[in-house]
Amino acid sequence: MLTPSEIAKEVESGTRSALSAAVLLKRMSEDLEAAYTAVRKRAYEEQVKYATRMMMERNETVVDEETGEIIPVAESRTGEDSIRIKL
């Protein structure tokens, strides 16, 4: 698979049209964004778990080093105790 810089060199050398290169690079960009989003979601879940643990254990908030965003803690719900008897 060609890298973006190799595609640009093909356009400069005249072996590929600029329109063809633009379409190919746009598709690559969309694929890359989709893959990044999928990976980021799985990483985000782990960050939330970690932030929740730090809040419970040390009462500390966790900040994402890349974005500077405060990672929220997982919601917790408390309810009444109940006993269920099934016959």
- Report the pLDDT averaged over residues 53-77: 85
- Dihedral sign, CA of 39, 77, 55, 68? positive
pLDDT at 32: 93
5-50: pLDDT as tens digits: 999 999 999 999 999 999 999 999 999 999 988 887 888 888 888 9
Q: How far apart are CA 55 and CA 34, in angstroms?
A: 31
Q: Where are the domains of the chain?
A: 4-71
Region for residue 16 given its phi and psi (left: phi exceeds 0; alpha: psi -120 to 50; beta: otherwise): beta
pLDDT at 38: 85
